[in-house]
Structure 1
Amino acid sequence: MEHHLQAYFKNESDAETALAKLQRCPIRDARVDSIPDTDSNPFLLPALSFTSNSTPNTGVITDRDVISRADSSDTFHYLLEFYVNEKDREEAVSILSKTEAHLDKEAYDKIRNN
């Protein structure tokens, strides 16, 4: 099975750096796009690395952190999107977790619950 992942970044440099790091992982159709200026971004969380039992690795955000993030005024201007196979998804998310990537809450929940 293949997954479509989108990661949000504050600047193009961070998005391009993440894309370069992802090149060691088998991904396809990767691209970095600017996000049109809007008054708000979706509710985003830092990309986290999860183990195979769906438990976040050390240094993850807690529910309290999620609540504080909801009030954040951070604005994300770039989107990195790509496709990755199920067997490589954990590696791709692990790579993203070491960058300035943020995921929307729906993607975060999907990764955590799979």
Structure 2
Amino acid sequence: MEHHLQAYFKNESDAETTLAKLQRCPIRDARIDSIPDTDSNPFLLPALSFSSSSTPSAGIITDRDVVSQAESSEAFHYILEFYVKEEDKKEALSILSKTEAHLDKDAYDKNNK
């Protein structure tokens, strides 16, 4: 089974750097696109929130913190999309967690079950 992952970035450089790091695990159909300017961003969480433990560790943003994140003036202008196989998803999420990537709340919920 394959998973479609989307990671949001504030700038193109961070997205490109992350894509280069992801090349070490098997991903396919990777692309970086700019996000049209909008007045709001979706509820986004830093990718470092995607840990394998069930309890958040220090510095991890929890669901309660999402509202303050969404209400901030931060704007994400680039999206990195790719497909990864089930057996490689954990490695891909680990790589994302060490970058400036943010994932939407739906992805957070789906990947932390």
SS in 1 for 2:54: coil
What is aligned with 1:50?
A: 51
Letter in 1 for 2:14: D
What is aligned with 2:106?
A: 106
What is aligned with 2:86?
A: 86
**What is the CA–CA distance in structure 1 between the aligned matches of 2:15 and 2:83, rounded to whole Å?**
16
C-alpha distance 67-37 of structure 1, shift in aligned 2 (>3 A): closer
- Give the conservation status (yes or no) of the 8 Å contact 2:44–2:66: no
CA offset digits 1:68-104 (Å, max 9, x no partner): 2132221000000000001110110110010000001
What is aligned with 2:76?
A: 76
The structural deviation recorded for 1:38 is 1.2
**What is the CA–CA distance in structure 2 between the aligned matches of 1:57 and 1:90, rounded to whole Å?**
17
Question: What is the identity percentage for the equivalent residue pairs of Structure 1 and Structure 2?
Answer: 77
- Give the conservation status (yes or no) of the 8 Å contact 2:56–2:62: no
SS in 2 for 1:32: strand
TM-score, scaled to structure 1: 0.89
Letter in 2 for 1:77: H
Runs of 4+ more than 3 Å apart: 56-59
**What is the CA–CA distance in structure 2 between the aligned matches of 1:14 and 1:89, rounded to whole Å?**
20
What is aligned with 1:29?
A: 29
When the two chains are superposed, the root-mean-square deviation of aligned CA atoms in Å is 1.6
- Give the conservation status (yes or no) of the 8 Å contact 2:37–2:77: yes
| Structure 2 unaligned blocks of 5 or more | none
Report the number of matched residues: 111
- Give the conservation status (yes or no) of the 8 Å contact 1:50–1:90: no
